Amino acid sequence: MNYEQIKPLEKRIPAARQEAKRHYGVHPYFTRRPYNVVRDHILHYTQERDIVLDPFGGSGVTAIEAYLANRIGVQNDINPLANFIAEGIVGLSEASDDEIFYAYGKIETACKKILQDIHQKASFEEIPPDIILPPNVRLPRTADVENYHELFTTKQLVSLSILKNEIDRLNGASQKLLLLAWSGALARLNKTFISTHGRAASRGGSSIFSIYRYKIARQPVELDAWSVFESRFIALLAARKEIVSLIELRKRTAGWHGGFYCKSRDVIELQSEYSEKVDYIFTDPPYGGHISYLDLSTLWNVWLGLDPVPEAPEKELIVGGEMGLTEERYKSRLYQSITASFSMLKKDRWLSVVFQHWNIEYFKAILDAARDSGGELRSAISQIGDPIWSMHKKKGKSSVLAGEVILTFYKSGKMCVREPQHPTVSLECLVVELLAETNGNILYGEDLFNRIVVEAWKRGVLDELKITKEDFTHLLENLGWKYDPQKHLWIKGMLIEQQSSISLK
């Protein structure tokens, strides 16, 4: 394969989140990437047996898709929960049907009736003395409650404990599968779970994934623990069937040589192990604040006994969190992480980074690190038109960035010279120029924003671009565009004559 000759992908790939049972509905995780977008990138930039790395792997979409496409997928994440999910999904095909149903039968015999009886009880206040509970650790300051046990009702604590203790007595791949089902059930059997209004009580999600904190539901629902566990088990069986048939298909056609490795290191440290070994990287680093992955994964890590390495909290690439990590530190570690990623990539290979943020300095850290590592920006695709579900509930949607940009670089290894600043380009002109290039009468705000960032960076004026959400919205309005909140896009209307009030700070 001549990697240099590859023409970069230029068009948005519509997201098909729900089609792959191996990712959708198996176990919740934060900002999971649509599998088909990731898979199409892997297929485009690599060939079979290539090593594909995601240094910020999350729930493992990149490494799992690489593995199933006959590549060697390398998953890395500093958060043990992320690796537990990714390894769990890959491991689904490892046990036979007989083993799985035998193990499930044992759990059913030992727990189903007890759990159903607990669910039926009108009140259940006392925890029986033989129940083994997880450590009652302190929760992050943003949590509504102080300690771990307060995240659960007594019924939930006892039911989860009974189930987990039985699963712990099993072994092998079927035990791991059932533990993944238990962990998926844990996401619903706690007081942060909020039922979706007007739907069955079991439909909904945890505040951990919607508002990124431990918010306790005003009226916590107590779902039937056995049914929840059983539904997670059924979802895993569907995921397993899909994975097994994909592997079988490969075996019959190209031959099966997919591989999967899992690492739990800080990205910057991973480079010592993978220096110039990787054929393609597809990754989305944390986007600044909002999500403290480790803090929010305490719910799982504690009960599953998954301990992050002691230095993980201070190495996590976030702003804030319990450690109160600063923005300055985030920017410099983001730069170092992208530099480290390029150092793991072979020369003459490709790297894609997914990102979105209003803070242009974060983009600058990524773009500068790539350039300083001999990476040439070859494409910037906005994944627009796929607003995330929580968008529908947000106020002031016009300033919500609901689509990311996928920046793809080719590592030529040539050290590029920094663009001299273009003194004649004013930012206001740049925006007007880009709007003039827009075909048709509609545009997505995120697409324009991404194009502004990339164009300003290329012209060496990114440092000066200080545009706030409000400025951006006013700017478009003043240029005669109107926001359609239903479709989350901008429509060109009458051009307002007075454009002088455009404010670009």
Ligand X SMILES: C[S@@+](CC[C@H](N)C(=O)[O-])C[C@H]1O[C@@H](n2cnc3c(N)ncnc32)[C@H](O)[C@@H]1O
166 or 316: CB nearest ligand X: 316
As measured in angstroms, the least distance from the Cβ of 161 to ligand X is 27
DSSP string, 302-346: HHHT-PPPTTHHHHS--SBTTTTB-HHHHHHHHHHHHHHHHHHEE
Which among 323, 327, 333 is positioned nearest to 358, based on CA atoms? 327
Name the packing angle between helices 80-90 and 172-186 (round to 10°).
130
As measured in angstroms, the least distance from the Cβ of 493 to ligand X is 36
As measured in angstroms, the least distance from the Cβ of 67 to ligand X is 14
Through-space distance between the first and last CA atoms of the chain, rounded to whole angstroms: 47
Which of 22, 27, 33, 240: binder of ligand X (CB under 6 A)? Answer: 33
Contact 344, 276 (CB under 8 A): yes
Q: Does 316 bind ligand X (CB under 6 A)?
A: yes
Which of 3, 29, 229, 355: binder of ligand X (CB under 6 A)? Answer: 29
Alpha carbon distances (Å) from 443 to 28, 397, 435: 32, 15, 9
Q: Does 164 bind ligand X (CB under 6 A)?
A: no
* Chain position whose Cβ is nearest to ligand X: 58
Which of 317, 431, 456, 475: binder of ligand X (CB under 6 A)? Answer: 317
8 or 55: CB nearest ligand X: 55
Q: Does 462 bind ligand X (CB under 6 A)?
A: no
Q: Does 194 bind ligand X (CB under 6 A)?
A: no
What kind and span of H or E run contains 355?
strand 345-355
32 or 164: CB nearest ligand X: 32
Q: What is the largest CA-CA distance in the chain?
A: 76
Q: Does 284 bind ligand X (CB under 6 A)?
A: yes
Which of 68, 82, 179, 325: binder of ligand X (CB under 6 A)? Answer: 82
Which of 32, 349, 451, 488: binder of ligand X (CB under 6 A)? Answer: 32
As measured in angstroms, the least distance from the Cβ of 37 to ligand X is 10
152 or 350: CB nearest ligand X: 350
Which of 46, 70, 75, 79: binder of ligand X (CB under 6 A)? Answer: 79
Q: Give residues 35-64 in contact with ligand X (rule: CB under 6 A).
A: 56, 58-59, 61
As measured in angstroms, the least distance from the Cβ of 353 to ligand X is 11
Alpha carbon distances (Å) from 59 to 377, 405, 440: 27, 20, 38
80 or 375: CB nearest ligand X: 80
Distance CA 248, CA 246 (A): 5
Contact 365, 398 (CB under 8 A): no
Q: Does 179 bind ligand X (CB under 6 A)?
A: no
55 or 445: CB nearest ligand X: 55
Q: Does 77 bind ligand X (CB under 6 A)?
A: yes
Which of 6, 17, 31, 210: binder of ligand X (CB under 6 A)? Answer: 31
Which of 164, 191, 315, 331: binder of ligand X (CB under 6 A)? Answer: 315
Stretch that binds ligand X, among 30-38, 176-184, 413-421, 428-436 (CB under 6 A): 30-38
As measured in angstroms, the least distance from the Cβ of 309 to ligand X is 10
Which among 264, 254, 257, 252 is positioned nearest to 72, based on CA atoms? 257
Distance CA 442, CA 427 (A): 22
As measured in angstroms, the least distance from the Cβ of 29 to ligand X is 5
Distance CA 273, CA 267 (A): 11
Q: Phi and psi at residue 207, in whole multiples of 5°?
A: -60, -20
The tally of CA atoms less than 13 A away on the side-chain side of residue 362 is: 21
As measured in angstroms, the least distance from the Cβ of 346 to ligand X is 21
| Chain position carrying tokens 């192990």 | 273
Which of 67, 124, 152, 293: binder of ligand X (CB under 6 A)? Answer: 293
As measured in angstroms, the least distance from the Cβ of 282 to ligand X is 8
How many CB atoms lie under 10 A from the CB of residue 482?
Answer: 13
Which of 87, 166, 222, 266: binder of ligand X (CB under 6 A)? Answer: 266
Which among 160, 105, 102 is positioned nearest to 131, based on CA atoms? 160
What is the radius of gyration, based on Cα positions, of the chain? 24
> Considering Cα of 250, then 253, then 256, then 259, what sign does the dihedral take?
negative
Chain residues that interact with ligand X, rule: CB under 6 A: 29-33, 56, 58-59, 61, 76-79, 82, 266-267, 284, 286, 293, 315-317
